[in-house]
Structure 1
Amino acid sequence: MGEPKLHIAGLSKWFPGKKGPIRALSDINLDLADNEFVSLVGASGCGKSTLLSIVAGLQSFSEGVLLTDGRPIVGPGLDRGVVFQSYTLLPWLTAQQNVEFALRAAGMSAAECRDVARAHIELVKLGRFADAYPAQLSGGMKQRVAIARALSYRPRMLLMDEPFGALDALTRRQMQDLLTQIWEEHRLTVLFVTHDVEEAVYLSDRIVAMSLNPGRISATFHVGLARPRTQDTISTADFIALQRDVLAAIQAGSEPDPA
């Protein structure tokens, strides 16, 4: 196996507290390969989003090693696209203009911004809505724009924090299938945070379960289900068994350590 796309070793994170430092993450060790789809799952407060934010370069960490393509992560970078549950679109710009705005910040010319933004709006199947404003778009459409924006500057890694959590069930499944299609076509490495175990099994190559107090990796599951996955996959015995095992790991890690 070659050099991992993402390498995390001995990573810990403390936050200041009234009675002293609070350890949020403890001794995280995790490698992601090129074009691997890995989901982080666990009870609320286990540090999933904190870990993803650290990989995005939006938070610091207290100790450990954090590398992408062998280089230290010291802040946000164009090599990593980030998508949150909240769409964070600029309401006074159209769908296409929201993508162009990110590209201008990346240093592209106006003409190149237009072409690249249009291509990515088409990629997420919003060509007919390129000139619509966020207020005119559904939640699923807004998230498509956010994904187009994150992909527009050609990152090799996509970091997603509960991106479909606010969507209805049908739209959520459509977005999962769109994400899978984009991931397969563009060979992205994806680190995906979700509370939905079914979603994690449906999307992932590997599932990493985290436990509480402090947040740490408690179990890893390799998803051996064939691709492409469909609605029928969810009802198979292998899918159900894996979902049950992941849920059991989350439950086991949801109780605080004894004092």
Structure 2
Amino acid sequence: MQTQPKLSISHLHKSFSTARSTVKALSDINIEVADNEFVSLVGASGCGKSTLLSIVAGLQTFDEGEVLVDGIPIKGPGLDRGVVFQSYTLLPWLTAKKNVEFALREAGTDPKEISDIAARHLDLVKLAPFADSFPSQLSGGMKQRVAIARALSYRPKMLLMDEPFGALDALTRGQMQELLMQIWQEHRLTVIFVTHDVEEAVYLSDRVFVMGLNPGRIKECIAVPFARPRPAGAQRDREVLELQERVLQSIREETRVEL
């Protein structure tokens, strides 16, 4: 018996209008993502990766098509979907724990449980010792961990991540990738991950969707066949490097300029 996909996008179209013209941002997007699957969206700047993620998050409307989560059309943001952006979007006047508690209150969580849930999720991202620190006292990686704890605190079944590690240094980025893998495996989340980093996409994902340009579309879906858990350093294995090159070549084909 075929299992219903966690996310189903069918014949999705999206345009942006200005005073002078209409720009087709996304054209005929068709994607299905299974429960507990980790997929990445890659492609050249301007191909619509973030626009597509925002539509799934319920933060943008679309012109035509259908977007279903667990078979139900999305009508806006929902507690079934947690969102993490590259910018940490933490409230600077609140401590790390209070930032998570704020999200829980907004989600309608039982007030008696808010403090314990916030503490557990900060522990999940290994930030328990910094619960009373303000964002200005935290490093970039720590701020992003607070943002992840906040997004996970109300237990969404889908995590939508838009370049979440793009502003981090290489060492911190690697640590965050490892942490995300642990959380994903333990909590059985479906993850949609936008990145410009092909090495990151191949390392983290079950499948990589390459998006084309003008208009944004799904050009190719590339399966990542490597067994999990994937050890640190696996990015340098020959088979992994070959797959990275295949993804890069698919992106390059979209940006090639005729001379």
Q: Same fold (TM over 0.5)?
A: yes
- Give the CA deviation at 1:202: 0.6
**1:52-67 mapped onto 2 (5 Å cutoff):** 52-67=53-68
**1:170-209 mapped onto 2 (5 Å cutoff):** 170-209=171-210
Verify: 1:37 aligned to 2:34, yes or no: no
What is the distance in 2 between the residues matched to 1:256 and 1:10? Answer: 29
What is the distance in 1 between the residues matched to 2:156 and 2:232? Answer: 29
- Give the CA deviation at 1:235: 1.3
2:131 aligns with 130
1:90 aligns with 91
**Cα–Cα, structure 1 residues 160 and 256, in superposed 2: closer, same or farther, change >3 Å?**
farther
- Give the CA deviation at 1:108: 1.6
Unaligned runs of 5+ in 1: none
Unaligned runs of 5+ in 2: none
Measured on the aligned residues, the alpha-carbon RMSD in Å equals 1.2
What is the distance in 1 between the residues matched to 2:148 and 2:66? Answer: 28
2:111 aligns with 110
1:3 aligns with 4
Counterpart contact for 1:46–1:210, Cα < 8 Å: yes
TM-score (ref. length: structure 2): 0.97
What is the distance in 2 between the residues matched to 1:50 and 1:137? Answer: 29
Letter in 2 for 1:152: S
1:249 aligns with 250
Q: Which runs of 4+ in 1 moved over 6 A?
A: none
- The secondary structure found in structure 2 opposite 1:12 is strand
What is the distance in 1 between the residues matched to 2:137 and 2:25? Answer: 39
**Cα–Cα, structure 1 residues 256 and 33, in superposed 2: closer, same or farther, change >3 Å?**
farther
2:19 aligns with 18
Verify: 1:145 aligned to 2:143, yes or no: no
- The secondary structure found in structure 2 opposite 1:234 is helix
What is the percent sequence identity of the aligned residues?
67
What is the distance in 2 between the residues matched to 1:152 and 1:172? Answer: 22
- Give the CA deviation at 1:31: 0.4
- Give the CA deviation at 1:196: 0.1
Q: How many residues align?
A: 257
- The secondary structure found in structure 1 opposite 2:233 is helix
- The secondary structure found in structure 2 opposite 1:217 is strand
- Give the CA deviation at 1:110: 2.6
What is the distance in 2 between the residues matched to 1:15 and 1:73? Answer: 20
User: What are the Cα deviations for residues 160-188 of structure 1, in whole angstroms up to 9, with x where unaligned?
Assistant: 00000000000000000000000000000
TM-score (ref. length: structure 1): 0.97
